[in-house]
Structure 1
Amino acid sequence: MAEEGRKIGLAMDFSKGSKAALKWALDGLIRKGDTLFIIHVMHPQALESRNLLWATSGSPLIPLGEFCDPEVRHGYGVEVEPDVLELLDLTCKQQEVNVLWKIYWGDAREKVCEAVLSYELDALVMGSRGLGSIRRVLLGSVTSYVLEHATCPVTVVKDRPH
């Protein structure tokens, strides 16, 4: 009996920290047969009328091949850096990994935890912006909240200074 692949989530906001988390996950965590859920949370004000249907539940799952189409991304109001798509596409083909995008609108803390529950993720990887303790207390921390509330193991990857 063949073993089913794992479901790995990756919180992606296209910051340096989330790109470092993506690279870390692709280099050392993801393996053949896994499904990688890219969880992207946009500010609620970015919700355009054509996407109101998904305001509560988020977008449908979007396969990487479809998400690579600029018109599809434009339809959701997502701007993606080409290097992220190229890296995902290469890994998807080389390692036979299924990559799915999920776009939410709202509070990133709550929506990332919602995705963990909805897709019964085996693990979540996310980047850290490296806020100091005072700024983290004043501004809140998505990472801290997700670490406390997620129902799966969470790995936080810090961006290394160059």
Structure 2
Amino acid sequence: MATATATATEAEKSVIVVGVDDSVHSFYALHWALDHFFAPFASNSPYNLVVVHAKPSPTSVVGFAGPGAADVLPFVEKDLKTIAARVIEKAKEICISKSVNDLLVKMVEGDARNVLCEAVEKHHASILVVGSHGYGAIKRAVLGSVSDYCAHHAHCSVMIVKKPKIKH
């Protein structure tokens, strides 16, 4: 894992932020980023890696207030923490399996769109890598597209990685 003290060369490296959630699309994007930005350079990559998972707040997931909401929220929070821990652990395992050991993995509570754009700013990232869920126009309109938002609002290049469709 990344340490607080960076050598001069590490400090001069460009930063790549990769957003992950519990979808196959985001883990595909992480694999893709590692294969294209880290593997070709072996242990001497010109990039520092920051992997970010945005954990939604329980109230944003439950989506209602009033009687009963207070009873449900602790259970939702527990589930969200469990999912976040699983996502973080899987991201670390993927990075280690690709011999990328020098990385920063973070879990930040909030909306993924804002969390990723803030991570880009905080770490002065050159590239943000996100997966595409491949939602159609209606789902995108209802759910909002994290990749679309980041492409318009992140202050760096945004790589939207699409998982190839399986041919039958």
- Structure 2 length-normalised TM: 0.69
More helix by share: 2
What do you get for the CA RMSD once the two structures are aligned? 2.6
Q: For residues 12-37 of structure 1, give each alpha carbon's deviation from its aligned partner in whole angstroms, at most 9, with x where no partner exists.
A: 10311111111111111234242110
**Percent identity at matched positions?**
34
State the match for 1:38 in structure 2: 51
Query: Cα gap change, 1:141/1:77 in structure 2, threshold over 3 Å: closer, same or farther?
Result: closer
Match of 2:117 among 88, 97, 113: 113
2: distance between equivalents of 1:19 and 1:146?
Answer: 18
Task: Tell which structure's C-alpha radius of gyration is larger.
Answer: 2
Contact kept, 8 Å, 1:36 with 1:98, in 2: the verdict is yes
What is the CA-CA distance between 1:85 and the residue it aligns to? 3.1
2: distance between equivalents of 1:101 and 1:40?
Answer: 8
State the match for 2:152 in structure 1: 148
What is the CA-CA distance between 1:104 and the residue it aligns to? 0.8
Contact kept, 8 Å, 2:53 with 2:88, in 1: the verdict is no
Q: Which amino acid aligns with 1:11?
A: G
What is the CA-CA distance between 1:2 and the residue it aligns to? 5.7
What is the CA-CA distance between 1:81 and the residue it aligns to? 7.8
State the match for 2:127 in structure 1: 123
1: distance between equivalents of 2:90 and 2:15?
Answer: 23
Q: Unpaired runs of 5+ in structure 2?
A: 1-7, 60-80
- Structure 1 length-normalised TM: 0.71
1: distance between equivalents of 2:110 and 2:89?
Answer: 25
Contact kept, 8 Å, 1:128 with 1:156, in 2: the verdict is yes
2: distance between equivalents of 1:77 and 1:145?
Answer: 22
Match of 2:136 among 132, 136, 144: 132
Matched length: 132
Contact kept, 8 Å, 1:128 with 1:143, in 2: the verdict is yes
What is the CA-CA distance between 1:152 and the residue it aligns to? 0.3
